A and B are shown apart, each in its own frame.
Chain A
Amino acid sequence: MNIVVCAKQVVDVSEIKVDSKTNKLILAGVPQKISDIDKNAMEEAIKIKEKHGGKLTVVTVGPADAKEKIKELLAMGADEGIHIVQPEKLDYFVVSTILAGAIKKIGEYDIILCGEASIDLFSGQIGPRVAGILNIPQITYAQNVTVEKDKVVSERNIGDKAVTIESSFPVMITVTKEINEPRLPSLMQILAAANKPINDWSLDDVGSGKLEPKITTVDIKGVSMERKNVVYQDDIDDSVGKLVDSLVKEGVLR
């Protein structure tokens, strides 16, 4: 079984601040991490590999320092990493074309796993786009995945329905956050990961030399939230009384 996981380095959104005067985002110094749900994709891939054997490759398109973050996924259980430095101008079209190019270069793949969405942009585009480029079936929002020798059965959670789909290989699957609990690598695994290869592929290597984005971000407007932050923490009865009085003053009780 050959499995490919697409993983993205993102800014930690909970650490972003907005300058309330200029409404600009303060991104400098905000820590980077692997997008949360991509670890769920990795965990699912490891489980499949544990059952069926094979090779597990993780691919990322990102800035130069994303290579460091990939080590975490190698420690979890990937065999090999592929790092492609992102072009200066990019959008979902550009990233998905590069990823699909890399997957074609890997050559043999049965299952491609992505997160349902990345936590910074939360678009959910990359998985379906890659599946579209490769012209293979896709299963999105998978809340469970059962892999057998020559097929996969998976349940899509589409909110008001659960749809069980069976597919042959190759197939692209995006997973939800609830599908599993990603493992934390042990110290031994972290040390061992240092010896696993992370290949640097160029845009030309994956046949995506000159790609022009199809959309342009013309503005990013920061949204600051100012709240009163009145906190009552004494006697419960007093606090409840004060809260109700405040709500009356706010005019929200009628």
Chain B
Amino acid sequence: MVLVYSDNKNLMLELLNKGNELAKELNKSLTAVIIGKDEFSKDYIAHGADKVVVAETDIDQFKAEEYTDIIEGIVKEDGSEIILIGSNKNGKELAPRLAAKFETGCVTDCTNVYLRDKKLTAERIVYSGNAVAVEQFNTTPQIVTVPSKVFDPLPKDDKHKGEVVKKKIDVEKSSSKILKVQEMKTEEANVEDAEIIVSCGRGFKDKNDIKMISDLAEALKGRTVGCSRPIAADLKWLSEDHWIGLSGHKVKPKLYIAAGISGQIQHIAGMRDSGVIVAINKDPEALIFKSADYGIVGDLYEILPKLTDAIKTKMG
């Protein structure tokens, strides 16, 4: 059996596509897991699930300890050999804990998953983008986590049939307690889908100056603003969905412009697949120039307005 789980619906739809392909190749069926309220079982079936297990519990919030127990139970009953888990932060703390329970292998943040000689094979980026490791499993269940936008969702097929199994599940309660959940603002930057991205880094002195970046993005008709980790994680000037890099989002626009970004390898890891890379930095020795096709050495405060004007003139 192939089993997929994420607490994020979009990730689920993407995983179901891959899960469906693997299940067909292995002549197995595909199970989707929902923990808590059944909101989406119809969608999951239309997107390829043969079965949806709805774990009905009185737990209303994600805790790795409890979710691991729930999924462990379902996996045992279902006989899952392959488990695909969505690679958001919750999925990434769930999958290895689950793997520890089964004393089995796990590969996180896979950029590709396929069968080679009937063996599940997973690729992931290592050494901060310098290499791709190809991993194979020696035991089952074989657990992988996959980030969003790695696979497209399968087109919806309302004729696809599947069963919904509701299960009452009691789990051992974790001794930890969730005190507060604070939603952080997101701007839904969708950097993964962008054709043109203009990114800012610590070379910016003030949050308001980021307007220069959005003006340039606007002139390029790209409208997508990206940033380095400190801008989102330390300064919190932009929401996490703008953050590009090893620990942020991986992007491949046709044009990537980095202004006031030093070009540390962890940033490069997120944008190295871009088409044309442009760097603006006042330090001629900045690493970013080594990873760029074109660069201008100078003060971004002087360059950005001029570049925006020049592009507006050119593009009419």
Contacts and interface: CB of A to CB of B under 8 A. Distances in A.
Nearest to A120: B127
B93 A140 contact: yes
A229 B131 contact: no
A90 interface: no
Given A91-B105, A215-B135, A239-B296, A132 B96 contact: yes
Contacts of B96: 92, 96, 123-129, 132
A163 B297 CA distance: 42
Contact of A158 (B88, B121, B241): B88
Contacts of A215: 105-107, 135-138
Given A177-B233, A233-B298, A124 B93 contact: yes
A246 B105 CA distance: 48
A232 B298 CA distance: 9
Contacts of B176: 137, 139, 165-168, 171
A98 to B, nearest CB: 13
Given A137-B176, A138-B65, A125 B133 contact: no
Contacts of A212: 138
B134 A232 contact: no
Nearest to A222: B131
B135 A214 contact: no
B57 interface: no
A18 B284 CA distance: 24
Contacts of A96: 96, 100
B181 A163 contact: yes
B132 interface: yes
Contacts of A119: 128, 266
A221 B124 CA distance: 10
Contacts of B175: 137, 167-168
Given A128-B97, A220-B133, A122 B128 contact: yes
Contact of A247 (B88, B124, B276): B276
Interface in B200-258: 220-221, 229, 233-234, 240-241, 246-247, 254-255
Nearest to B100: A132
Given A236-B298, A248-B314, A214 B306 contact: no
Say what secondary structure dominates the interface of chain B.
Answer: mixed
The size bracket of the interface on A is 35 or more
Interface in A171-229: 171, 176-178, 212-223, 225, 227-229
B131 A221 contact: yes
A129 B100 contact: yes
B294 A13 contact: no
Interface in B153-211: 174-184, 186, 196
B131 A240 contact: no
B272 interface: yes
B264 interface: yes
A202 B197 CA distance: 51
Nearest to A13: B128
Interface in B245-295: 246-247, 254-255, 264-266, 268, 272, 275-278, 284, 289-295
A28 interface: no
A139 B178 CA distance: 11
Contacts of B264: 14
By CB atoms of chain A within 10 A, which of B89, B100, B254, B255 has the most?
B100
Nearest to B101: A132
Given A18-B130, A93-B105, A213-B105, 9 more contacts: A11-B127, A13-B265, A122-B125, A128-B97, A131-B64, A217-B133, A237-B306, A241-B310, A253-B314
29 contacts: A11-B127, A13-B265, A25-B127, A92-B105, A121-B126, A123-B124, A124-B108, A128-B95, A128-B97, A133-B100, A137-B175, A140-B89, A157-B89, A159-B184, A159-B241, A164-B180, A165-B177, A166-B179, A221-B134, A222-B130, A223-B132, A229-B293, A231-B296, A233-B284, A236-B302, A244-B314, A247-B276, A247-B278, A247-B294
Interface of B: 63-65, 68, 88-90, 92-101, 103-109, 121, 124-139, 174-184, 186, 196, 220-221, 229, 233-234, 240-241, 246-247, 254-255, 264-266, 268, 272, 275-278, 284, 289-298, 302-303, 306-307, 310-311, 314-315
